[in-house]
Amino acid sequence: MTVRYTMPITAVEADIDELGHVSNLVYLRWVLEVAMGHSRSLGYDHAQYRDLGAVFVVRRHEIDYLGQVTVGQTLSAETWVDDWKLASCIRKTELIRDGKVVARAATTWAMMSFSSGRPIKIPDELRAKFA
């Protein structure tokens, strides 16, 4: 069973673009914020990754924008790791407002060694935390 993580997000004035709704770049920021929140909730903050000698880095984002969000609206951001490879994983994220998905993302994260700057195998203990 995959561990899912949910956090609330409220759109603020600074998130709004010239069209009067949340900017596409803000959706991307929210996708990253919920991923980091998920990791921290499982005990993997910046210090833990330093101790591990490696960290996840983004290799690819794919986002489908399905609805608009305006200032003051609150969303539920839900994320989970959907697929594991040797040195990478695919994390799915849904941003939900009033029971409807307004954005859906798939992000490929690679495990990178701090010392070499190259991809390495994702440690089994880290994998187990997210499973």
Determine how many CB atoms are found less than 10 A away from the CB of residue 12: 11
What residue ranges do the domains of the chain occupy?
Answer: 5-130
To the nearest whole percent, how much of the chain has pLDDT over 70?
99
In this structure, the strands spanning 5-10 and 54-65 are: unpaired
In this structure, the strands spanning 88-97 and 74-84 are: antiparallel
Rounded to two decimals, the pTM is: 0.94
Closest among 35, 38, 58, 45 to 111, alpha carbons compared: 58
- The total number of residues shown for the chain amounts to 131
pLDDT in tens, 47-103: 999 999 999 999 999 999 999 999 999 999 999 999 999 999 999 999 999 999 999
Phi, psi of 57 (to 5 degrees): -125, 150
Q: Residues with Cβ < 8 Å from 68, sequence gap 6 or more?
A: 21, 22, 102
- CATH 3.40.190.10 assigned to domain 5-130? The reply is no
Token couple for 108: 């490929």
Token couple for 68: 């608009």
Distance between CA atoms of 118 and 112, rounded to whole angstroms?
5
